[in-house]
Structure 1
Amino acid sequence: MAMKPLRPKKQFRWSIAMRDEPDAPAKSELFLKSSNQFRRALRRMINQSGTAPNGEVKSVSRQALSASAGIAASTLNKLLVSDEKAKEEPPNPTLEVICKLAAALNVSPGLLLLTEDDWKKLGSSVATYMALERADNFREFVSDTVLSNEYSGVASDVARDAQQIAQMCGFGSRATEAARTNIAATSQVLSFRGLNPEHRPLLMVICAIFALSATPPRTSPESNPS
């Protein structure tokens, strides 16, 4: 019986398409500033957060801080990397880690994230408020509104009053629609209803300055060719 000839095996060629992995999205400038501020503030605070037996201030060890905060020592070390390493991989702690470290250091979590620009805005706000206090129209306005014990604190009223105070700060030329919106939104970050009435005017000035600094500058219209 004749045998059928064997059929040659088919040869398969597998081609693997090598695709470049997509680049990681670039970190925003605000994130990089906040990350650097957090890292540097944490390093400075560690150097002044311990107490020597004689009562003098000294540094606290990383081991002691990580134990007090309830986080792993390796996590703390990643947050305290050098400037060079931070450029490659900026620290990005979770909100929980920030709060734990803040509690261990007896500070508000927000203070660890305020950038140098933020501190400048706070200083400018205080100086502006001190100048406004000498103006009759400002004193009359806040006396009739935010200083009142019956102040409603309703969102629309707070937004309106913050915008009015921004005008008194001398920012009228920058009162674009975007600026007014930013002032209204920023004034909602905190509840003015439960605040000490004497603190409300200053806090509204702070809201106005922070909002205006985050508002894109007004673009000048292009001149029409004659």
Structure 2
Amino acid sequence: MTSLAVSTHGTEIRKKAQKGLSANLLRAMQVAGSRDDGKPKKLSQQLLSDTSGVARSTISKYLTQESEANPDLETLCRLAATLNISPALLLMTEDDWLHLAHGLVTVAQTLNNEQFDSIARELGQASQRNPLNRADAVLKMAEHIGVKQRHEFEVETPTQRKVKQGILTTAALPMHPKFQDGIYAQLLPLCIVMGARIIDQGDQA
């Protein structure tokens, strides 16, 4: 893929993220305010601005999806902190939410069967705490939940490489020192469904 193609498709991803930010910010503001009796109410742009320190004109740009509305990390975190929401959730696109929903359904259908338990035990081994070491178990889980057959990953077409990459990179992200045994395995089907798609629709064959 040429640098121009990468730039073009990166722009498309940014546009989707901007649209997601606009929609998520607007929805969050609908219930982020509080009345005197404690019931929720709409949070005004001015109050969000006063509380977050982000200019009202800037917030307005985000809500109207203006092309120059491209928040830096500090601005995004200020808005997220004011709304008491993860910055990552503010950037979720409609497709992200759809895949999240599908992933949760998959999790519910996958848990508590013998093959899942076997893969979970494999993931629970100390050596599997390294994302590279647990990659094979991740692909086994992908086959188990019906996302991809193992032999499809061996074909290694550009599309298959992208899907495989998305699965492995998304599955590498969840980590917390307080994760109890088995928690990662329960998150894994969700990660696989979220990762098994082409984010950048570039030169795929």
Taking structure 1 as reference, are residues 47 and 129 closer, same or farther at Cα in structure 2, changes over 3 Å only? closer
Please name the residue that 2:90 is paired with.
112
Question: Given the two structures, how large is their TM-score scaled by the length of structure 2?
Answer: 0.79
Please name the residue that 1:128 is paired with.
106
The separation in 1 between residues aligned to 2:103 and 2:81, in whole angstroms, is 27
The separation in 2 between residues aligned to 1:129 and 1:165, in whole angstroms, is 11
Given that 1:153 and 1:192 are in contact with CA atoms closer than 8 Å, whether structure 2 keeps it comes out as no
Structure with the larger RCO, 1 or 2 (CA within 8 Å, 6+ apart): 2
Is 1:163 matched up with 2:139?
yes
Please name the residue that 1:184 is paired with.
168
Is 1:33 matched up with 2:16?
yes
What aligned pairs does 1:25-104 form with structure 2 within 5 A after superposition? 28-81=11-64, 86=65, 89=67, 91-104=69-82
Structure 1 unmatched ranges of 5 or more = 1-24, 220-226
Question: Given the two structures, how large is their TM-score scaled by the length of structure 1?
Answer: 0.72
The separation in 2 between residues aligned to 1:193 and 1:162, in whole angstroms, is 20
State the identity %: 26
Tell me by how many angstroms 1:101 deviates: 0.2
Please name the residue that 1:146 is paired with.
123
Given that 1:187 and 1:204 are in contact with CA atoms closer than 8 Å, whether structure 2 keeps it comes out as yes
Task: For residue 207 of structure 1, give the secondary structure of its aligned residue in structure 2.
Answer: helix
Pairs aligned (count): 188
Superposed CA deviations along residues 93-129 of structure 1, whole A, max 9, x for unmatched, are 1111111000000000111111111111111112112
RMSD (CA atoms): 2.7
Task: For residue 89 of structure 1, give the secondary structure of its aligned residue in structure 2.
Answer: coil
- List structure 1 runs of 4+ shifted beyond 4 angstroms: none
Larger Cα-atom Rg = 1
